[in-house]
Amino acid sequence: MDAQAWRMLLDGAWVTAWISGLSIALGVVIGLGMALLRLARIPVVDTLLATWISLSRATPLVTLVLFLFLAAPSLGWTPAREWIAVAALTINTSAFNAEVWRAAFRAFSREQREAALACGMRPGQILRRIMLPQMAISSLPGLVNEMSFLVKGSPAIAIIGLVDLSRVTNRIAAVTYEPLPPILAAAAIYMLLIALLLKLQSIAERRAQRLAM
């Protein structure tokens, strides 16, 4: 491949990286919020959220991207295609993250909570100072695993015309009639993005271990 092809790949990689990265960040926060609302055990809220999460998890990502792209104009929402992609990826990953967070909260030791209450701490203080730090570490492998799936599923955004890494790969292959080099290069870039997430996970876990000592 020539220099122009590499520039195209890097441009496509940037589109994949920033859309996936923003969706990951939003998905983690929104997923945490949904998990907390479900744990509040308000029947109507819990039922609505459980239904929303189940539907979001069951809907293929490419279908969700295409649905938002086609439905948004009819609702009076005409954002750039990049923001439709962010919305679709965020909806998808936040649903999976909500279940990761909820499982982590359910596994929290009841004895710790009771001990904190006995020391005079309020429920909000227990959540912020004791539960959330521990839950963040215990749920980290599941969250990073979901982040990896999101990056690998991000080629779905190409269906609405975004020039991401997968679409650039197809364009280069169509022009050069040599599909293998751009495919291998794109695969290496995807692997690099996943490796970066795993490295960040490793750093976070090491720091948490040092703080716990």
**Which CATH number goes with the domain that contains 98?**
1.10.3720.10
Write down the pLDDT at residue 134: 78
To the nearest whole percent, how much of the chain has pLDDT over 90? 64
Q: How many domains, the chain?
A: 1
Token pair in block for residue 165:
């890494």
Which residue range is the domain that position 90 belongs to?
A: 3-212
Using the predicted structure, report yes or no on whether residue 139 has a pLDDT greater than 80: yes
For the whole prediction, is pTM greater than 0.85?
A: yes
**Of the listed ranges 16-30, 108-122, 188-202, the one predicted with least confidence:** 108-122
Element (H, E) at 197: helix 180-212
Q: How many CA atoms lie within 13 A of 68 on its CB side?
A: 25
The dihedral over CA atoms of 123, 125, 128, 130, expressed in degrees to the nearest 10, equals -90
